[in-house]
């Protein structure tokens, strides 16, 4: 009898995947321990590998593994990561590459001393830059785009790190939140559009950088502010300095708020949980339907379902239960089990659903396969009607700014009409939010003192804020004609 060991990421999945989380701390005697805790809080952003680099007396110390944070780090391992400066990374592995070799932090030694780097995002011209440098004799040890920046920094003729970083980053395109560890300082920088998040906190006299504020909550750090788009902060023994490397343009990724960030986080100045509740409330107003019960798809649809329930007056209940203890690997049955891929994560509750008209709320539909199986599962559990409500717009384009997405032809929103999608998922009705409605509700959720100028909505509109060259469009499958 043969068995097949699979990862949950191999299962049919109707969600995008973030590629990583970054965390850094400067000036704390337990830097590595706090980095471990920060990465633990940010595990949702990447489950395919983790790493921490610390610095003691000019010596870089590095530990990384293709395991979960809780599986890899031990007390003895963390005790080996000495020093009062540390940075860490959680990775979601995209297709290709070596799952161990490509883990971050990336480390090197160059003319100015040791350097370690972690990156959240995607450099869209990395292949072109890498090819140019390889033709000039450069050697690359990984397949991650972040290594391009290490080479650019090392090649820079700038006299100061600010000049070196400015020159290096002026050559790259795409999205980035970088944390860089140097011999006597830690740097945090965001791209001019601010596509990926990076927040600043303090714990005592130590400064902390993290992808999301939930990491600050776990370690008891105070949130100070976000790193601005186009800004680099330099943290050293003198404190923190701000350097405006580029003119900010403000186009943060709206999907961070819709799906990626933990509900208890604040990203880009927006409270995530409240934003998602408002999206659900808007759904109820824009696409009302007579029903007996609102059911969230856990956990991503929970806040939106509560908002839908409050706005519609229809009670909400947990008609789908999530198995929170799904491991990274499990043995699939040799014989087919109906809806196995979904049932390993979700199961319906017949006592709640029987003879009920159901509104099932989720944050998005990507391929449609999981939504179809969920609707079938709800009907099998006794639901008399199943109405799907999606707290975002149809996804019609892939992302090239740090999110692992299918090609355009795999996105059901790009290839099917609303009615065709409804028929495919076998729902009695289906409704999405409009892009305008999404932006309006999220803006209403934020602190009124925090002004913004819009979002990157490329996955919903196909309008990319960073222009692609002809070569890049061909590379990404966007070239037409």
Q: Choose the weakest-confidence range: 94-103, 176-185, 236-245.
A: 94-103
Give me the helix-helix angle, 272-286 and 435-445, nearest 10°.
140
The residue-averaged pLDDT of 307-314 equals 98
pLDDT at 206 over 70: yes
Q: What is the DSSP string of 407-430?
A: -GGG-HHHHS-HHHHHHHHT-SEE
Residues of the binding site for Mg(2+)? 300, 362-363
The residue-averaged pLDDT of 47-56 equals 95
Burial class (CB in 10 A: 0-12, 13-18, 19+), 1: exposed
Before 470, cis peptide (omega within 30)?
no
CATH no., domain 18-252: 3.60.20.10
In which residue ranges of the chain is CATH 3.40.50.2020 found?
A: 270-440
- Please answer whether residues 253 and 229 qualify as being in contact, where contact means their C-beta atoms are separated by less than 8 angstroms: no
Between strands 429-432 and 346-348, the pairing is unpaired
Beta-carbon-side half-sphere exposure of residue 136 (alpha carbons within 13 Å): 10
pLDDT at 15 over 60: no
pLDDT at 361 over 80: yes
The residue-averaged pLDDT of 86-99 equals 75
Residue 64's pLDDT band, with cuts at 50, 70 and 90, is very high
In which residue ranges of the chain is CATH 3.60.20.10 found?
A: 18-252
pLDDT at 309: 98
CA 455 – CA 419 distance, rounded (Å): 28
In the chain, how long is the greatest CA-to-CA distance? 72
pLDDT at 1: 36
Residue 322's pLDDT band, with cuts at 50, 70 and 90, is confident
pLDDT at 124 over 50: yes
pLDDT at 474: 63
pLDDT at 467: 76
- pLDDT, one tens digit per residue, over 236-265 is 999 999 999 999 998 999 999 999 999 999
pLDDT at 114 over 80: yes
**Average pLDDT value for the chain:** 88
Reference 373, options 339, 345, 346; nearest CA is 339
- Please, what CATH class does the domain formed by 270-440 belong to? alpha beta
Residue 481's pLDDT band, with cuts at 50, 70 and 90, is very low
The whole model's pTM is what?
A: 0.90
Identify the residue with better confidence: 96 or 7. Answer: 96
Residues of the binding site for [4Fe-4S] cluster? 253, 399, 456, 459
Beta-carbon-side half-sphere exposure of residue 261 (alpha carbons within 13 Å): 32
Residue 475's pLDDT band, with cuts at 50, 70 and 90, is low
Give catalytic residues, as residue numbers: 20
Hey, which of 9-13, 156-160, 424-428 has the most confident mean pLDDT? 424-428
pLDDT at 96: 46
């Amino acid at each position: 009898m043969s068995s097949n060991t699979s990862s949950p990421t191999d299962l049919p999945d109707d969600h995008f995947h973030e590629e990583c989380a970054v965390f850094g701390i400067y000036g704390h005697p337990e830097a590595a321990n706090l980095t471990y805790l920060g990465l633990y809080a940010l595990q949702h952003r990447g489950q395919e590998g983790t790493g921490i680099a610390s610095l003691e007396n000019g010596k870089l110390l590095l530990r990384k593994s293709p395991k979960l944070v809780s599986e890899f780090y031990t007390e003895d391992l963390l005790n080996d990561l000495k020093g009062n400066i540390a940075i860490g990374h959680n990775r979601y592995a995209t297709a290709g590459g070596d799952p161990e070799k490509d883990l971050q932090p990336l480390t090197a030694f160059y003319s100015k001393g040791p350097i370690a780097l972690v990156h959240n995002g995607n450099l869209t011209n990395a292949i072109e830059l890498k090819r140019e440098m390889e033709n000039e004799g450069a050697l690359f040890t990984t397949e991650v785009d972040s290594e391009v920046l290490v080479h650019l920094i090392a090649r820079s003729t700038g006299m100061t790190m600010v000049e070196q970083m400015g020159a290096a980053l002026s050559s790259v395109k795409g999205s980035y939140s970088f944390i860089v560890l140097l011999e006597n300082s830690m740097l945090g920088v965001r791209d001019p559009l601010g596509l990926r998040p990076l927040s600043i906190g303090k714990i005592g006299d130590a400064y902390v950088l993290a992808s999301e504020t939930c990491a600050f909550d776990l370690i008891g750090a105070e949130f100070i502010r976000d790193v601005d788009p186009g800004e680099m902060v330099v943290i050293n023994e003198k404190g923190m300095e701000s350097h405006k490397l580029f003119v900010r343009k403000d186009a943060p990724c709206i999907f961070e708020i819709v799906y990626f960030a933990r509900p208890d986080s604040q990203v880009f100045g927006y409270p995530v949980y409240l934003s998602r509740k408002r999206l659900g409330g808007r759904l109820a107003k824009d696409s009302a339907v007579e029903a007996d019960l609102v059911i969230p798809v856990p956990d991503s649809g929970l806040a939106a379902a509560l908002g839908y329930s409050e706005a519609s007056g229809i009670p909400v209940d947990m008609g789908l239960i999530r198995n929170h203890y799904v491991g990274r690997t499990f043995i699939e049955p040799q014989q087919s089990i109906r809806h196995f891929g979904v049932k390993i994560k979700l199961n319906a509750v017949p006592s709640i659903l029987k003879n009920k008209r159901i509104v099932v709320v989720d944050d998005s539909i990507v391929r449609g396969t999981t939504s179809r199986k969920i609707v079938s599962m709800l009907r099998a559990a006794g639901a008399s009607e199943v109405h799907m409500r999606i707290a975002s717009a149809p996804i019609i384009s892939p992302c090239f700014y740090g999110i692992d997405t299918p090609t355009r032809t795999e996105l059901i929103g790009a290839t099917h009409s609303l009615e065709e999608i409804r028929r495919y998922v076998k729902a009695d009705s289906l409704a999405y939010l409009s892009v305008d409605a999404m932006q309006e509700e999220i803006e209403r959720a934020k602190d009124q003192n925090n002004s913004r100028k819009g979002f990157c909505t490329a996955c919903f509109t196909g309008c990319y804020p960073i222009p692609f060259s002809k070569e890049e469009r061909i590379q990404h499958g966007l070239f037409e004609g």
